[in-house]
Structure 1
Amino acid sequence: MKKSISTILSMSIAAGLLAGCSTNDSKETAPKTKVETETTQQAETKPGVAQAEEVDTSFIKNKLLDVKYGSQSEAQKLDIYWPNEGEGPFPVIIAIHGGGFMQGDKTGTDLTAMMEGVNHGYAVVAVNYRLSGEAIFPAAISDVKAAIRYVKANAKEFNLDSEKVVAWGGSAGGNLAALVGTSGDADSLNGENTENMEYTSEVQAVVDWYGQIDFLKLDEQFKESGITPKMGERGSADSPESKYIGGNITENKEQVEKANPATYITKNDPAFLIQHGTADPNVPTQQSIDFSEKLTEVLGDEKVELTLLEGAVHGGEPFNSKENLQEVFDFLDRILK
């Protein structure tokens, strides 16, 4: 396991709807060999819904928004962003938002760093999934896996490389990215999504930013670290993890184990880059340290990298900084290009 402990010292606009494009049937308008620049228009504000600050995608010319990848929920949509230059097929970043499994969106500012992928020759696929208020575990991971299968099934049409896919997420998105990575060769988390089952949800690399891994250890690790948890006790019935699991995590240990990416580690897993701030008040740093050690035991040093960002909290500028993103894209380029 490669470790680099560095002191690396946050980055937003409404996503546009593709003009003239049906968001319910992307195949009619999807690029086939070369993505052509499309005119975009301002997304309409949904009545009665508070609009969170959105990631700036104004620099990306080629995009296809609100593509349906599943039939279980209206939440099952994804956005595709292509590099402004290049012929493709492009390697793919599956961008998974955070929000404690109970909030967040594929247009949120926590995807800012991932959108930089288009400047490095990657297509970025931002995924929405069912939140815990709509459906409990394993709905979210089942949706992300379904989205990956959809991308692979339509890779030729969308000018994407189905054999070069990375899952990248932060916080709850980090958990889901890690879970995609370790469970790619397992069918137990597919849930009720049955589309494109002839394709796997396996990925070639994972970028896990400060994801919670072992829910049952969150409280004790905070006590050991001396850091006051910003979100209170996680072993309570109203914690994000308990809402996600569908009951107090201390009383649903079997489900918690199934939501733990470490449960599924095998020698066939992809390469992992794990990054975490040492002053994180939302997810203890020890979560990533323990997970990286378990991965290394099976995969070896060459496939697991851990970076601890000294003094960094839960996301923000230290992760989005030019220096840190260079480390991330160096890792991805090494694996996928």
Structure 2
Amino acid sequence: MGKPNTQSISRKWLNVPYAAQSPAQQLDIYLPETGAGPFPVIVAIHGGAFKMGDKADGQLTPMLEGLKRGYAVVSINYRLSGEAIFPAQIQDVKRAIRFVRANARTYKLNPNKLATWGGSAGGHLAAMAGTTGTLTDFDDPSDPNVGQPARVQAVVDWFGPIQFDQMDAQFRASGKGRPDHDAANSPESALIGKPIQEAHDLVKRASPATYISPASPPFFIEHGTEDPLVPTEQSKLLAAALQDVLGPASVSLTLLEGAGHGGPQFNTPENLAKVFAFLDKHLK
């Protein structure tokens, strides 16, 4: 997917720092072409195995469709695993959410209507932001906006890894995919700073499922049935765990038949209409 053309978007602020520890801690804000706001906010979180990707790359394209539907889009960068290991990434996401709330009036944003949306590693972080929204575990006391809530009102998780130390076993059981997540140089091992099978407590701390509670927001989860990088079982187990606590009406799981790790089936008008119907329900 090519880089989206954002030059035609007239109302935008690019490379806005939300923290000062790293050049990576920046975000871009896009507003609909018309309307005074305040606009409900899609917080777009890019994927890239926790080690690559960018807030303005092609992964942003489906989120930008929200501009036509009355949403502001805030696309964030965060420290990648080559710069800082877990929990720096979720700390950055939460700092960005708090920055949005603290500066909502300046940018015509609705501080009470936020959703996180990401794919792959971005899906993981979107889910983490959702389930840890009322917790202080990943707060940075140096954040000047730490008094702002970090809770979001909805989560769109596209094929995010959830429980790192189960992924290879799930691939072997299904006969699909590439069971190489347990390797010492896997993206997940690089993220937490050690081989994941030697750090089960740390892996548990890095799992969105660990923090599911009645305070968790509604989730919209999609995963391709032929995903070679993240087992479909990751999303199925997360959805089941969320449904046990929140009830089936608050959790949607769709398995896109034949789809891989992302791809055109996620970005069709028909599929995006389902995503935005979910967001409309909870943010409008």
TM-score (norm 1): 0.83
Q: SS of the counterpart of 1:314?
A: coil
Q: 1:315 aligns with which of 262, 269, 273?
A: 262
Identity of aligned residues (%): 54
Question: What is the aligned partner in structure 2 of residue 166 from structure 1?
Answer: 115
Distance 2:12 2:54 in 1: 17
1:63-100 Cα deviation digits (max 9, x unpaired): 10000000211110000000011221000000000000
Structure 1 residue 149 corresponds to structure 2 residue 95? no
Structure 1 residue 203 corresponds to structure 2 residue 152? yes
The offset of 1:59, in angstroms, is: 3.8
TM-score (norm 2): 0.98
Please give the root-mean-square deviation of Cα atoms over the aligned residues, in Å.
1.0
The offset of 1:318, in angstroms, is: 0.4
Q: 1:103 aligns with which of 39, 52, 68?
A: 52
Q: If each structure's helix is expressed as a fraction of its own residues, which one has the higher value?
A: 2
The answer to whether the 8 A contact 1:136-1:245 is kept is yes
Distance 1:274 1:195 in 2: 33
Structure (1 or 2) with the larger CA radius of gyration: 1
The answer to whether the 8 A contact 1:146-1:195 is kept is no
The offset of 1:56, in angstroms, is: 2.3
Distance 1:195 1:103 in 2: 27
Aligned length: 284
Question: What is the aligned partner in structure 2 of residue 303 from structure 1?
Answer: 250
1:42-79 Cα deviation digits (max 9, x unpaired): xxxxxxxxxxxx22223422110000000211110000
Q: SS of the counterpart of 1:156?
A: helix
The answer to whether the 8 A contact 2:140-2:146 is kept is no
Structure 1 residue 336 corresponds to structure 2 residue 283? yes
Structure 1 residue 251 corresponds to structure 2 residue 180? no
Amino acid at match of 1:242: S
Structure 1 residue 290 corresponds to structure 2 residue 209? no
1:62-77 mapped onto 2 (5 Å cutoff): 62-77=11-26
The answer to whether the 8 A contact 2:49-2:120 is kept is yes
Structure 1 residue 140 corresponds to structure 2 residue 83? no
Amino acid at match of 2:251: V
Q: 1:281 aligns with which of 221, 228, 244?
A: 228
The offset of 1:228, in angstroms, is: 3.0
The answer to whether the 8 A contact 1:142-1:193 is kept is no
Q: 2:186 aligns with which of 239, 251, 254?
A: 239
Question: What is the aligned partner in structure 2 of residue 47 from structure 1?
Answer: none
The offset of 1:192, in angstroms, is: 5.9
Q: SS of the counterpart of 2:107?
A: coil
CA pair 193-318 structure 1, distance change in 2 beyond 3 A? farther
